[in-house]
Amino acid sequence: IVTVDGESVIGKTFDEVLLLVRGPEGSVVVIEVAREGEEAYLPFTITRARFEVPVTEAEMLPGNIAYIRLLEFNQVATERMLADLDELLAQNPDGLILDLRNNPGGFLNQAVSIADIFLPTSVVLIERNNQGLDDTFRVDDGDVGESIPMVVLVNQASASAAEIVAGALRDNGRAILIGETTFGKGSVQQVHTLSNGAELRVTIARWYTPANVSISQEGITPDIEVEAPADIVFGSDNDAPLQRAVDYLLNGE
């Protein structure tokens, strides 16, 4: 991008360009783009619209297996999860795969509420501060996803809130984990802004699974380890962890 509504953006920061591009929904912005091999700038007239990044992906797989992939634990994660789950459960699936691969985490309250969907009365996690004092997060039964057989897919990029949910479901005997050892981000940090503008992050607590296993650094090792191919495409025929999860739900091993 070289201009926005006729104003050059050369030398501007990303945030400065973003302010120029953003505007009221339904309004029009004209951007010019420099493209290799083209002498003149290419103009594009764009009508501004609200863009919502998907949080979940859901479908029925062969074998009557329900599949939900959760991309992150943002503010609407539980709402989207429940909506997808209601649609899938209406089709009477024989099992459910919850895919938390490449999920970087997000809000703690969303992790707890999503775990609550699938757990009866249980401990979800233990938060232990630097003085050794514990804050235990519990959930109650009565939710729609508590009885369907489950597998949770994880990999090296499953972190933070994703590890909380995976650990809670596994430790409570609600699901098995398939895939790769998770990232290992189980710390609670406070951010302090210094006088020079730099940030100092101080770890004030750590997360533990219901079985009192620390999530930090070492991550969570799955029950069934399946190495993903380097060229993996999630949901495709070369998605070995997903195929293993389907096999487990169909055959029980």
Q: Give pLDDT tens digits along the chain (253 positions).
A: 999 999 999 998 888 898 999 999 999 999 999 998 888 999 999 999 877 778 999 999 999 999 999 999 999 999 999 999 999 999 999 999 999 999 999 999 999 999 999 999 999 999 999 899 999 999 999 888 999 999 999 999 999 999 999 999 999 999 999 999 999 998 887 878 888 878 888 888 999 999 999 998 789 999 999 999 889 999 998 999 999 999 999 998 8
List, for residues 77-105, the tens digit of each pLDDT value.
999 999 999 999 999 999 999 999 999 99
User: Longest C-alpha distance within the chain, in Å?
Assistant: 66
Per-residue model confidence (pLDDT) at position 202: 86
Its sign, for the CA torsion 167, 169, 171, 176, is: negative
Looking at the chain, which residues constitute the CATH 3.90.226.10 domain(s)? 56-251
d(CA 85, CA 95) in angstroms, rounded, equals 12
Amino acid at position 230, single letter: A
> Which residues, other chains included, contact 224 with Cβ-Cβ below 8 Å and sequence gap of 6+?
176, 177, 178, 244, 248
d(CA 168, CA 185) in angstroms, rounded, equals 15
Angle of helix 108-118 versus helix 161-171 axis, rounded to 10? 30
Please name which of 189, 140, 141, 182 lies closest in space to residue 164, comparing C-alpha atoms: 182
d(CA 200, CA 215) in angstroms, rounded, equals 22
Amino acid at position 232, single letter: I
- The catalytic site residues sit at 160, 171, 185
Q: How many residues in the chain? A: 253
Q: What angle do CA 97, 124, 175 make, to 5 degrees?
A: 25
Per-residue model confidence (pLDDT) at position 14: 85
User: Can you read off the two tokens belonging to residue 127?
Assistant: 């938060």
R_g of the chain computed on alpha carbons: 22
d(CA 148, CA 135) in angstroms, rounded, equals 29
User: Can you read off the two tokens belonging to residue 60?
Assistant: 């029925």
Per-residue model confidence (pLDDT) at position 191: 79
The CATH superfamily assigned to 56-251 is: 2-enoyl-CoA Hydratase; Chain A, domain 1 (3.90.226.10)
